[in-house]
Amino acid sequence: EPVPAPFPIEAPRGAGPPSRMHEAPKELLTPAERREALVFDKCHERARRTLRKATTEACQLTTAMQRRFPHGVMGVEGPGCPDSIIYADNRQKRVGDANRKAHFAEQRHDNIASRRDSQL
């Protein structure tokens, strides 16, 4: 299920970050304002908890895939997939190794060709 994107909401009077929770109030709040502030804080905490849980689950899934399936998951994702985020490091390493091998193979080929064509 997709996680909705967060959007800013102006905090009602009396609500705010936890750092301001114990400040001395400058004026009294009506019961409705206090209720609104408490509901806002409760919803804010619930949203933060949900986002944190979704982030943690995504990180755990990524780590599990990298550790349990280092060569990829068939039909889902793998190091050969150019759009892979989970296996991006593995793919970069493989591409670098392939480029290095191709470079050395080309150097060997050029060296052999130059020795073959030389006049002894």
> What residue segments make up the domains of the chain, in order of their start?
1-68, 74-120
Report the first-to-last Cα separation within the chain, whole angstroms: 73
> What's the full length of the chain, in residues?
120
Q: What is the pLDDT of residue 33?
A: 86
Q: What is the pLDDT of residue 21?
A: 66
Q: What is the pLDDT of residue 68?
A: 93
* CA pair distance 14, 28, nearest whole angstrom: 9
**Other beta carbons less than 10 A from residue 38's beta carbon:** 13
Task: State the Cα angle at 48 between 44 and 49, rounded to 5°.
Answer: 115
Q: What is the pLDDT of residue 120?
A: 62
Mean pLDDT for back-to-back runs of 10 residues, the chain (120 residues): 75 72 75 88 91 94 91 85 88 94 97 82
Q: What is the pLDDT of residue 22?
A: 67
